[in-house]
Structure formats: C-alpha cells, structure tokens
Structure 1
Amino acid sequence: MMPNANPNPKITSEAHLLDSVHRGEWKQRDAWRALRILSEFVDGFETLSDLEPAVSVFGSARTKPGSEEYVLGEQLGAALAKANFGVITGGGPGIMEAANRGARSAGGVSIGLGIELPFEQKLNDYIDIGLDFRYFFARKTMFVKYSQAFCVLPGGFGTLDELFEALTLVQTKKVTRFPVVLMGVSYWQGLIDWLRDRMLEGGKIAEQDLDLMLLTDDVDEAVSHIVSACAYLKECGDETP
C-alpha cells in the first residue's frame, strides 16, 4: 500500500459497496453491483485458468528500489521463475515490482493483480499478465486459487491481511495445505515470538499452527521448501476441496 497524499481521495467501488450510512440506496444499487462483482470473478477465471504453477509474493509497496528488501524480492522472483513457477503479485510498486522484475528478468511469467484504491496506483512495468480489480475479495480469491504457495516479505497492514487470511484458510482446511514462507528473519521474528508466547501459550492456536510457516532469509531455502511441498502434495494426490 502507498501513503495517501491526496486530501480528497476518490470513493472506490468497494467503499460504495460496504457503505453503512446510505442505507436507502442499497436496494436500488446493490443488485447491480452484484453483476459487476460476478464479472470480476469471470474475468479472473478466464484470464488465469491456463496459468502455469505460480507463487504469490506479498510485501510493502513502500519499499524503495535498490534497498535490501527490494533486492531480496527481485532475487526471489528470479529464483521462482527458474524453478518454473509464475510469480503473482499485487501489481504495484515496492516489493511487488521487485518480484515481478526478477521473474521477468529470469524468463518467467510475471502476473500482477491490481486493486482500485482511493489514491493512484498503476500496475508496474514488469508485468506480462495484468488484471485490475475493484473488490479485494475477488482479488484475494485469485491469489489463493492460482497459487501453489505464498511468500511474504516485509510489509504493512495489507501484507498482514494476506498472510493471516492464507493461514486461516489452511488451518481451517478451506484450501489444500500449501507452504507459506516468511522472508526477512529480523522483520518477522517478533511476530513469530508473539504468536508463540501469547497465542500458543494462551491456548488460542495449536503447536502445529506455527509449523504452517517457514521463516528464512535464504532464497534458495524458500524455493526448495516450496518445490518439496508441491511435489509432496502432488504425489499424495492432495486436492483443494
């Protein structure tokens, strides 16, 4: 996500949909919005249905080119492409741009799933297949449906949202168990410690829930973990319900 520098941001389609104030308009307008939502799912399914195995990479849009985290994202994108994975991101700048850039430089397929925001944010210049969404929930479906794994680099609220939604879907068996990799040990270690010391100790999660994530700084380890997990699931015939 990028900071909102616009004092008069536009109202997005999703904001209209979730508006809790103008109740009198719901009956007249929401039925038509349902058709627009359906069209986003149809466009996503048609565009991505023939996509090769892919990995979604998440991280901050605020990460600057040339920074250590940007370089890590670029290296990860290239390594995933060399392992024959397409790379899916949110299509914006920062970590998303880095992963798309790395994938393209290595000859892989680079995918960007953009989102309408109150401030301007266009798809980055390193995308081969691009889609723009009005609604987060339609976009999230595409991330999960067409990914074999998630790689999560340092980011903010949006990154945490994607991370915990993925973990919830896996934990509740709404999707096939697939690997979730946290890259950036110094960034994520405090979160892992809190999950263990507070949530696990308090009985809010189980010990095996912490095993749903691999924490590493090593790109080769991350890709090897994903390759091994995907091979295991394929061998076991494990399929999404």
Structure 2
Amino acid sequence: MLVMQSIPSAKGAAKGGHALSSRVAIKALFKSVVINMIAPAVIYSLAAPHFAAMSLAPLALSGTPPIIWLAYGVVKLRAIDFLGLFAAENTVVRIAALALAHSEQQALIGRSMENVFLAALFLASLATTKPLVLQMSRQLQTGNDPAKRDAFDAAATRPAALKTYQTLTLGWTFALLIKAAGAYLLAANFATKDYLLFSPLWDIVSDSVLVTWSMLYGRSRLQQRPTEDVEFISHSGVAP
C-alpha cells in the first residue's frame, strides 16, 4: 500500500532534495517491511510446530512485532507506521475470523473484512486535516523524522496539495471496498483450494489498477501546483 513513493515531487523541486527524499523513503520502507512482514512470517514459522494444528497462538504471536512497533511510533515518535497499522489490523481480523468461523469458507469470508475496516480508516481520515494518503506519503518521504515532518506538513497541507491527497484518499477508500467485495465473492463461491489460487491473482490485478491510478493522478496533480507552492517545496527539501 505504500505506492506513494512513486508520486513525484512538484515540478521544479531541487534534484538534491528529491534524491535525499528517495533515500529516506527506501530506508523507511525497508524498516517497515522487516518489522511488519518478514519478522511476523519468521515468528509464525517458528511458533507453529509448538502448537496444535488449529491453534490461533502462532498467528497471534506473529502479530506482536507490528503491534509493538506501532505503539512505539505513536508514543515515542508521535507518528504512525502504516505498514504496522495495516499488519496489526489484518492480524486482529484474521484471528477474529478464525475464532468465530465454523468452517473454512466462513473463515475466508471473515478475512475479506480486512479491507472493509481499512476503507473505514481511510474514509474517517477525510474528516481530519491530514488524510491517510498524505500521512503515508509523509512517512515515506521523511522517515518520520520530526524536523522533516514539519517541512513536509507545511507544503502538503497547502490547498492545492491537500485537495490532491483528499481525492487520493477517497479513491483508496472505494478501491479497498471493491477489493473486499471481490474477496468476498471468491470466498463465497469457490472451494478453499481454488480461493487460494484466485485470491492472489485478484490482489495483483486490483492493486496494479490502484497503483497505476495513484501514480498517474498524483503525478498530474502535484506537478500542477501554483508557483508559490513549487518554490516553497523546492526550498524545504521535501516532496509531498
């Protein structure tokens, strides 16, 4: 979901600042991937052999790294790691689905609710001054460094840029609901073995469409900012 790294800076922004932002983005993304994807997978694979076949304990344990890192970010950095947020939300929904389901099909249908809850978060963020896509982009561009965050916020919350992020956030809301509907239809109409084949394909197709739209729309809108916004961003060294 962190495709906002692909949205370019405003036209005329300093090349050195853009290169610095790219390095910060890569470092922040790598850290999030290790904590929120690699570490849970390793913990799950190590824990699973020590529990009964239907135990929820390995899945619950695998969710501890993103939850701990998410709490650290909120308390210490006053910022949210969004891969951590998404990973924690997915873990909670999957555990609830497994605990409440009476069949494999019900469990898979329950998992389709993951994107419904995420869509609700994106929609709710539109009521704030910093919609969720803006905050995701800020994490990538600044690595949640407090000094860089202030400069980013000053540029990204200007009217033209903010409107772009609001539209992107609304687009992600609808896209996540469509993804959830597709996952539900697959879970409700296919056997588990077929679901495990078609579900990843659905994710690839839907994510590709979302990424492409985000890049094209973000690039076209953020490169058409007023001159004063471009000059401000160029001097700030960050690219919302």
The verdict on a shared fold, with TM-score over 0.5 as the criterion, is no
The structure whose RCO (Cα within 8 Å, separation 6+) is larger is 2
Could you say which structure has the higher helix fraction?
2
- TM-score, length basis structure 2: 0.29
Structure with bigger gyration radius? 2
Normalized per residue, the structure richer in strand is 1
